[in-house]
Amino acid sequence: MSCRGIGLHSGEAVKLRILPAPAGTGIVFRRVDLDGFEIEAVGRNVAKVSYATSLQKKGVLISTTEHLLSAFIGIGLDNAIVELDNLELPILDGSAQPFVEMLLEAGLKQQRKKRSYLRILREIEVREGNKSIAVYPASGYTVAYNIQFAAPIGEQSFEIDLSRDLYRKEVSSARTFGFLREEKAMRNMGLIRGASEANVIVLTDDGVKNGPLRFPDEFVRHKILDLIGDLALLGKQIIGRIVADRAGHAMHAALVSRLLRDRTLWEETTEIAPSQESADTREVPFTVPHQA
């Protein structure tokens, strides 16, 4: 299964292909343009986290990983090889929905190994001024996010229980967004070279330039989408409650780092709450290829 597109920040054309992987592999990115060099989607490989989350290993970069990783977590895909022929993943429509649809059309294969979870045992908070992100012990996986931006966004809050299979309906289609007044400065920084009204919600002082919105609160839902993808770099799905207030990629990465450094904050387990679905790990199948 594969797709083609352009990178949001690089503007470069890229082909992405998702292949099956054995149980226990996790998510591994493979740069086919660099002799198949592989970078594991785990916290130790996190590089830049300003306007997107990038991974780096031995000088090789994979950029803007959060939407695809979010899709994987959202539909319960644990093991896959992600091949791409450039440094940045395709932005597609600016959400995770195209990845979700592509994966579900191909179908998932259940594997004969129990999924391993990271169960939060103690509260931990990362704070920077009036911004914060915290994780608490809980029986499932819930994410709550609050944002505050200039008009026309303002303040928005949203919460989702990911153990109830709501990701596809409530989060996956929420798109990335940006203010038109910031475009020139960001392009001068070498960013958003692939941005367009086809893949970004464009905001002016008067409102949304390229509406309609998919949700009235699409902006905070997209922040949750990003957070889910960034937390995938823990290497395991979480059993816990995440609460974020005006956070962003850097704070998401800081929480991942803190959790991985302190093993007293969590335990690894294959036991989950009865409300959650089968804990068997999943991969994409070897058959039913998809072209987009």
CATH number at 43 reads 3.30.1700.10
pLDDT at res. 200 = 98
Please state whether the predicted TM-score (pTM) of the whole model is above 0.75.
Answer: yes
Rg (CA), the chain: 18
* pLDDT surpasses 70 at 64: yes
Position 164 confidence tier, pLDDT thresholds 50, 70, 90 = confident
**24 vs 273: CA distance, rounded Å:** 22
167 φψ region: left (φ > 0), alpha (ψ -120 to 50), beta (else): alpha
Of 183, 204, 10, 224, nearest to 96 by C-alpha is 224
In the numeric block, which tokens belong to residue 58? 């031995």
- The answer to whether position 291 is within a domain reads no
Per DSSP (E only), the strands in 150-190 are 154-161, 177-179
- The answer to whether position 231 is within a domain reads yes
249 is catalytic: yes
How many independent structural domains does the chain possess?
A: 1
- The answer to whether position 292 is within a domain reads no
- The answer to whether position 288 is within a domain reads no
Structural domain for 54, as ranges: 2-283
Q: Are strands 13-20 and 80-84 parallel, antiparallel or unpaired?
A: antiparallel
- The answer to whether position 290 is within a domain reads no
- Cα 17 to Cα 27, 36, 41, 85: the distances in Å are 13, 13, 16, 9
Helix (H, G, I), strand (E, B) or coil at 163: helix
At 90-126, the pLDDT tens digits run 999 999 999 999 999 999 999 988 899 999 999 999 9
pLDDT at res. 274 = 45
Position 278 confidence tier, pLDDT thresholds 50, 70, 90 = very low
- The answer to whether position 226 is within a domain reads yes
More confident residue, 104 or 288: 104
- The answer to whether position 109 is within a domain reads yes
At 13-53, the pLDDT tens digits run 999 999 999 999 999 999 999 999 999 999 999 997 778 99
**255 vs 230: CA distance, rounded Å:** 10
Of 107, 102, 33, 108, nearest to 291 by C-alpha is 102
Asked if 12 and 86 count as a contact pair (C-beta separation under 8 A), the reply is: yes
- The answer to whether position 213 is within a domain reads yes
Element (H, E) at 46: none
* pLDDT surpasses 60 at 275: no
Catalytic residue, from 67, 222, 249, 252: name it.
Answer: 249
Q: Which of 256-260, 267-271, 275-279 has the lowest mean pLDDT?
A: 275-279
pLDDT at res. 66 = 97
In the numeric block, which tokens belong to residue 104? 């579900």
Fill in the amino acid letter for 14.
V
Q: What is the mean pLDDT of residues 232-239?
A: 94
- Cα 128 to Cα 14, 133, 231, 233: the distances in Å are 36, 9, 18, 21
